[in-house]
Amino acid sequence: MEPELNRRQRLYRVSAIVLKRREMGEADRLLTVLTRDRGKVTLLAKGVRKSASRKAGHIEPFTHVDLLVAKGKNLDLVTQAETLEAHRELREDLWRSSWAYYIAELADAFIQDEDPHELLFDLVLETLRRLDRGDEVAMVVRYCELHLLALAGYQPSLFRCVQCGELLKAETNFLSLERGGALCPQHGPHQAGSVLLPLPVLKVLRFLQTRPWEQVSRLRPSLEVSRQVEVLLEQYIAYHLERGLRSPVFLSRLKQGLQSADAVPVQSAGAVPVVSDAYP
C-alpha cells in the first residue's frame, strides 16, 4: 500500500493550455503549458513522437487539455492527456492559427513560471475560443493585448496626462512608452521617445480597455485607425518586454502574401510616428 500511496502523492491533475512545444531526444517533447492553478510550467511528454502514442493528439499547440502529471526530479512528466477543447476551426485556418501563435508567445513572454493567475488563464483561453469561432481577428487580438497588459501590471494610463494629471482633451495627444501612459500636448512633445496618439486611436484604446467583450466585438474602426492601434500596441509591448516578439514579423510577411491573393483586407496606414528628441 505504501508504494501506491507514494505514487498517488506524486500525481496531480491540471487544466492547461499548450503554449508551445520543443523536440527532445528521439521521441520526447518539452511542453510549455499555461495552467489555471500552477501558472506557466514546463512538462516532459515522453514518447509522444512515436506513431503509437495516444497522448500526441491531445497536446497540440492551443489545445485546452486535462493533464495528469507525475512529479519528477528535474521535470514533471505528462502521464495522461485528454482534450477539453481542440480549437479545430482555428487550427485549420492559417491566418487565425498564426494569430493564435502570437497570443501564445505573448502569454509566454509576460507570464512568469509557476505564478498562478486565473484571470490570465481565462483571458488566453477565451481569446482562443473567439479566434476559433470566427470573431473579428483584429478586435480579438487588440482586446487580449490590452487586458493582458493590465493583468500583468503594464496597463497604459489613457485618461489623464501622466505628467500633470490633467484630463486629456479631445485632441491629438501623445503616448509615453517609458512612463506607460498618455501625455497632453503641453508635455508630450518634450518627452523623448513619445509617440503621437491621434484622437480616434485614443478612443479605440479606451473602448477596448474599459468595455466588455460583448460591446468590443461590435466595434469596427477604419482600417487606418485599426492599423495605427496595432502598431502602437506592438511598440508598447516591445518596450516593456525589452525585446520584440517573433510572431509579428511572420504575421507581417503572411499578411503581404494573403493580401496579394485578396485573402485579407489591406491595412493602409503606416506606423505611428515617433517624436524626435529634437522636437521643438
Provide the pLDDT for residue 244.
87
pLDDT digits (tens, 9 = 90+) for 12-49: 999 999 999 999 988 899 999 999 999 999 999 998 88
pLDDT band, residue 158 (cuts 50/70/90): very high
**Mean pLDDT, residues 248-263 taken together:** 78
Q: How far apart are CA 188 and CA 176, in angstroms?
A: 8
Cell 461590435: give the residue.
218
* Top-confidence range, 53-57, 111-115, 204-208, 270-274: 204-208
- Check whether 190 has a pLDDT greater than 70: yes
In the prediction, which pLDDT does 127 show?
A: 98
Output the pLDDT for position 175.
97
The CATH homologous superfamily to which domain 136-260 belongs is Recombination protein O, C-terminal domain (1.20.1440.120)
Among 169, 232, 160, which Cα is nearest to 199's?
169
Q: Which three three-digit cell numbers place residue 64? A: 485546452
* Parallel/antiparallel/unpaired status of strands 39-45 and 76-85: parallel
Question: What is the structure's pLDDT at 253?
Answer: 87
- Higher-confidence position of 51 and 237: 237
| SS3 of the chain | CHHHHHHHHHEEEEEEEEEEEEEECCCEEEEEEEECCCEEEEEEECCCCCCCCCCHHHCCCCCEEEEEEECCCCCEEEEEEEEEECCHHHHCCHHHHHHHHHHHHHHHHHCCECCCCHHHHHHHHHHHHHHHHCCCHHHHHHHHHHHHHHHCCCCCECCECCCCCCECCCCCEEEECCCCEEECCCCHHHCCCCEEECHHHHHHHHHHHHCCHHHHCCCCCCHHHHHHHHHHHHHHHHHHHCCCCCHHHHHHHHHHHHHHCCCCCCCCCCCCCECCCCCC
Which residue's C-alpha cell is 480597455? 209
Average pLDDT over residues 189-207: 94
Q: Which of 153-162, 166-175, 240-249, 250-259 has the lowest mean pLDDT?
A: 250-259
* % of the chain residues with pLDDT over 90: 72
The chain-wide mean pLDDT, for the chain, equals 89
CB 229 within 8 A of CB 272: no
Q: Which position has the higher pLDDT, 275 or 175? A: 175
pLDDT confidence of residue 202: 98
> Pseudo-torsion of CA 47, 52, 57, 59, nearest 10°?
-10
Q: Which of 67, 77, 106, 101 is nearest to 87 (CA)?
A: 101
User: Mean pLDDT, to the nearest integer, of 94-104?
Assistant: 95
Nearest-angstrom CA–CA distance, 75 and 57: 21
Say what the pLDDT of residue 252 is: 85
**What is 2-86's CATH number?**
2.40.50.140
CB-CB contact of 22 with 44 (8 Å): no
**Predicted model pTM:** 0.87
Q: Structural domain boundaries of the chain?
A: 2-86, 136-260
Is it the case that residue 141 has pLDDT exceeding 90? yes
Q: What is the pLDDT of residue 170?
A: 96
Residue 264 pLDDT grade (very low, low, confident, very high; cuts 50, 70, 90):
low
pLDDT at 55: 84
- Looking at residues 90-110, what average pLDDT do you find? 95
Is residue 222 predicted with pLDDT exceeding 80?
yes
Can you give the pLDDT at residue 192? 87
Mean pLDDT to the nearest integer, 244-259: 84
